[in-house]
Amino acid sequence: MNIAENIERGCKFFPEKTALIFEGNFFSYQQLNELANCAANGLQKLGIKRGDRVALFLPNIPEFVISYLGILKLGAVAVSLNAMLKSDEVRFILNDCAAKIVITTESLRGQVPDDDLAYLQYLLIAEDGVVKPPSMVVYSSSITSQNQQNLRCKEIGLLQLMAHASAEAKAIEMEPTEPAAIIYTSGTTGFPKGAVLSHGNVTSNMHSVKHCCGMKAEDRLLLYLPLFHCFGQNFILNAGLNACATIVLQRRFYPAEVLEVTATEQITMFFGVPTAFAKLLEMSPDECTFNSVRYYFSAAARMPLEVVDRWQEQYGLVIHEGYGLTETSPFSCYNHYLKYKAGSIGMPIDNVEMKVVDSEGLEVEVGEVGEIIIRGPNVMSSYWNRPAETAQVMSNGWFHSGDLGQMDEDGYFYIVDRLKDMINVSGFKVYPSELERVISQHPAVAEVAICGVPDRVKGESILANIVLNHGQVVAPEDVISFCSKQIAAYKVPHLVRFVDSLPKNTTGKVLKRVLREAYS
């Protein structure tokens, strides 16, 4: 078993079929497979072997897809870094997973620290989307290392490395339990945790996606969701390649471009988060824009019923919803096409079990609220090098999601709230403790409490409640600027409120419910 058999299977059955489209460049299944082979052989020349971690700090460009597949072909582990992370965040993850190589672009290179990276041996620079199908590429004649004077690791161009590697390779056989990818999620301690997804986890998930969504070789999938995220990486990319479909890759969600590409490329399956659908409705695109689309799907956050109703009224099709987490690869639950229920996240997918339990782990009655727990082949093996954190969420094979929900008499699940304090901003998860740790470093700040407040478009906005040191005067813009220099943009607070004190209970715990109510 190897996830990268995706591309080899497509190459065998449809060698000339277009696998990937990006900004006017077309890659057939054979060409994409050959490029992945070059990446695999190039990495092997640098000493990468089974089980080694290779980090991908890349935006949505073909180099991500090529490198990811090449890493998996070797049996190495692909570590996805959010392309919006800043230097300290990058340093932590690279050291935490002991990555030997990081692949990034020149524009992101500045966020890769030049020091305190104990395990890093090579820095591979991709030229930001300029890779072409093999027959179109002209490479330099030798591999050279650059900018080494201040670096402990060697810096090499990714295209140069691939140019001197064979285009012949085969994905090595892996055990289903062997790690394939590590995808980092924010941690309740303020530090991210790496969810370890095995070849078995991802393979089972992509087959479930194909089955539930009815994905076929004739389909054309729009992929603007970030590839570093489980939704884009597994639900769309891996499932799409396994179906031998055509994937139209975009750098990110720009509404006007999304509408244009959907029409010109005759997209048939449209995936997004609730924020994307809400923004597209605000633009009121012409109905012909979506004439080719036969299927819509949303996940990563709760979909407002008003958006579902307006979309169905305007375009005649429902937006199917799913549920899952990075730790579940991510697909766990699907609002089934055979019986769609508005407002529900649906029923567990094949081979996956879900139930709602109370604080003691006992299953609650139908309609009662409790924590959703999940068991199945999609559930991660562990958090990387985090046995204590793993034990907190895993019990007898069941993963405790931290989401509060309920189940109806038909076995359909509904999300009610979150057990943890996590904030969901347009599908990106933000843990208050991480942001609180950053803001508390500001010399004018005495105390800070972060909470989420309702946002019609984003789902939630981040509210920073700050108590200043005596005599200090700080503008909200100063706090936002301070955060922007240290953390990814989606974690930066949207709203800053200065208060005289924070409401607390008798044990000193901040009452965030009171803060949310006071803001309302």
* pLDDT tens-digit series, residues 287-320: 778 999 999 999 988 788 889 999 999 999 999 9
Q: What is the pLDDT of residues 365-385, one digit of tens each?
A: 999 999 999 999 999 999 999
- Phi-psi region for residue 411, left (φ > 0), alpha (ψ -120 to 50) or beta? left
Report how far residue 416's alpha carbon sits from residue 455's, in angstroms, rounded to the nearest whole number. 17
The answer, yes or no, to whether residue 190 has pLDDT greater than 80, is no
Max CA distance (Å), the chain: 71
* Average of per-residue pLDDT values in the chain: 91
Look at the chain and count its residues.
520
Report field, pTM of the whole predicted structure over 0.75: yes
Which residue, 165, 154, 86, is CA-closest to 122? 154
- Give pLDDT, residue 508: 64
- What's the whole-number mean pLDDT along residues 157-171? 96
Nearest CA among 301, 345, 327 for reference residue 400? 327
Question: Which pair of tokens denotes residue 41?
Answer: 């052989």
398-407 vs 370-375, strand pairing mode: antiparallel
Confidence band of 143 (pLDDT split at 50, 70, 90): very low
Pairwise pLDDT comparison (344 vs 151), residue with the higher score: 344
- 80-94, 182-196, 321-335: lowest mean pLDDT where? 182-196
Residues β-bridged to residue 462 = 452
For 23, residues 6+ apart whose C-beta sits below 8 A from its C-beta are 129
Summarize pLDDT for 253-296 with one digit per residue, the tens.
999 999 999 999 999 999 999 889 989 998 877 777 899 999 99
How confident is the model over 56-64, as a mean pLDDT? 97
Q: Which residues lie closer than 8 Å to 94 by C-beta, 6 or more apart?
A: 55, 102, 112, 117, 119, 120
**In the predicted model, is pLDDT for residue 135 greater than 60?**
no
- Give the tokens for residue 519: 């803001």
Residue 90, pLDDT > 80, answer yes
* Model pLDDT, residue 282: 86
Residue 275 confidence (pLDDT): 87
| 3-class SS shares of the chain: helix, strand, coil, % to 5 | 30, 25, 40
- The full DSSP string for 167-210 is S---PPP--TTSEEEEEEE--TTSS-EEEEEEHHHHHHHHHHHH
**Residues 410-467: tens digit of each pLDDT:** 999 998 877 777 788 998 888 888 899 899 999 999 999 999 999 988 899 999 999 9
For residue 419, the model assigns a pLDDT of 75
Specify the pLDDT at position 140.
36
Walk across the sheet containing 193-198 and list its strands.
145-146, 154-157, 122-126, 101-105, 53-57, 77-80, 179-185, 193-198, 382-383
Q: Is residue 146 predicted with pLDDT exceeding 90?
A: no
